[in-house]
Chain A
Amino acid sequence: MESTHKSNMATPVLTETIDLAAKFPGRVTPDARPGYSGWMVAKEALVEVSTAIRDELGYDLLSNVTGVDYPEQSKLEVVYHVYKTTGGPALTFKTQTERVDPAEVPSLVSVWPGAELQEREAWDMFGIKFTGHPDLRRILMWEGFEGFPMRKDYKEPFHEEDNKPLKSRWPEGKHSYAEARNPYGDNIMFKPGFDPEKWTPTDPEEALYAALKKYKTEEKDGIKTDHIIVNMGPQHPSTHGVFRAVVVLDGETIVSLKPVMGYLHRNHEKIGERNTFLQNVPYTDRLDYFNSMYNAWPYALAVEKLMGLKVPERAEYIRVIMGELSRIQNHLILFGMLWNDLGAYFTPALYAFEERELILDIYEAVAGSRMMCNYQRFGGVVRDIDEANMKKIKDLVFERLPRKIEEFDRLLSENEIFVARMKGIGYLSPEDAVAYSVTGPTLRAAGIPYDIRRADPYGIYDRFEFDIPVRHNSDLLDRYLVRVDEIRQCLRILQQAVKQIPEGPFLAGKPQYQVRVPAGEVYGRVEAPKGELGFYVISTGKGNPYRYHIRTPSFINITSVEKMCVGTKIADFVTILGMVDIVLGELDR
């Protein structure tokens, strides 16, 4: 079964150099700021240039869209990272607009529909208005929130100082509780002149419902039928957290759907820009809390690239070992929870959790914590894997896990009820998958062998022999089967890694709590278990990152959920959402 569903995708060798400035004279210039790379596109020509980038140059996957605030130059910048699904490095282009309200930039949703949620996020956080965006509302903050939190001049409640470490802690650190220090007196910021006593509420969801298809009343077989709106979530067991979907139903069939999020939002990026570079590492654990081992990896990659650090051999192997174990346990949780969603309550989930427990035991013994590992450092990892734990890992990857994966496969994969619920449901065409910036197993189940471990290798993944599992039906069953195959490939990588791992140092240089990061921008990305996880970091040479943005797979994969759901039954939405594999810590950040 396995052999027919793999792809030996090769890492492409890129020889061409792209000169956008020569192609679009006057409209595109190279980004010449020291430490920066890519192209600066005039915002009037943005749609034209990006259409050419997509159609003529073949950069079909829009990976990352984010804003950057430069109050000194009085500019707001939008940064785009695009990739080819055949592999290779990124093409970065940017556009700038005056820092006045409204700051307008043309929307790229017409070119890459995957920009939809990301542009909404940039509007929400920076107040960059994307003209031509079909549904430009706030996304993580609520409608009616005052201010744009990621702008440099925004001060949040409990704000003490712009950057950590805070000066009040030492040498005269008299402890006080945060609420006593709140400069605004309470936890809320209002518009100037706003009086909460005299305020009459309007429906804050009006815009949301307007964005859905309108209510429709129609005659069908002599019966007058209405479309109805159902709010699934934020408190709904099948959404795996506080995710909310507003669906318009015709009977039981989904007519349109809008994801609503932000219930777990804590502005990770703002916290990240206050933190020093190292202090961000434990915070990344709280993004996708199932894969905290993998989360800090792209961040470490990005900062190491800026610092020019070389990671020791052993540390590279340790990262791969821990990362692949993380991928296995992520997929196991997904299977278990999927069965919960389907109604097989908790038996398969707990079978999956057993194996996950054993992996977490290793994490606890090596990193010190089961879920919040805080294991990566710039230039390596914090602690070596000792003999005893290495033996445990070997036992798992050579003996127990292969056996248990087969058992799991036997338990689930051929079950007729399961197959009936999964087959042909949630179809997403490969073209749509790429256009909506879907990454990870969902993209590979649509027949596109795009895996960053091969497409643009990081760490030492180019040394291992493994296949990229691919399926072609792009339904739920294929998304499940791709993940089963992926676990087998993880085990293959792990078996090679534990055999090859050399002795030696596990951290480059001495442990430092304040690292010097040269000025510049960098985008580090990895194939996290859920899809592409990327960190966009700008350093100005100071102790704190100037910009710290995370491209999370859960957030961007959710863009395509409406496409998958329209036309299916409401009960299938639960399974479709489960297979997108979202985790709210990462979705809302």
Chain B
Amino acid sequence: MSAVRIRLALRLGALLVVGVGVAATALVTGQRGIILVGGTGAALVLGAVATGWRWAGSASVAVLAAVAAVAGAALPGPGGTWLLVAAAAATLAYIVGLDHVERPRRSTPVVSLTRGSLAARVVTPALGLAGAGLVGVVAAQPVVPSVPLVVLGLVAGAAAVLVATRSR
């Protein structure tokens, strides 16, 4: 087996583990319906990895996000929040990994000549995950709603919309 094939097999295996791992968060709810959805997600992950079909990849991403959200909601306390942060990281990794799976599988594979600078590839996702952790920590605090807090939340939301749409 050539080095390229071994690398591809390892990549597929890792992607499968990550995807099925997110789907397995359904088990923490203990509810048959959610576990069934988790199983569907795992099956979609398997299908996406095995076939490289783009629709299967997108469907698996949607189902995994839903399963992780429901599992996070079902788990009480900070455990649920940290489960959501871990699921967010795993979902990000899964989405990035799907790109490699969905490339056309031919005898002459697509060659990645350069991958962009490491800082550009790592810093922003790390910031995103740090933000997710921060939001999780804040969300876990017992907060009594007040007018300044609501105003602060609205300002933060408006700023986020501005930043997201500024350059588009």
**Chain A bound to chain B:** no
Q: Could you list which residues of chain A lie within 8 angstroms of chain B, going by C-beta atoms?
A: none
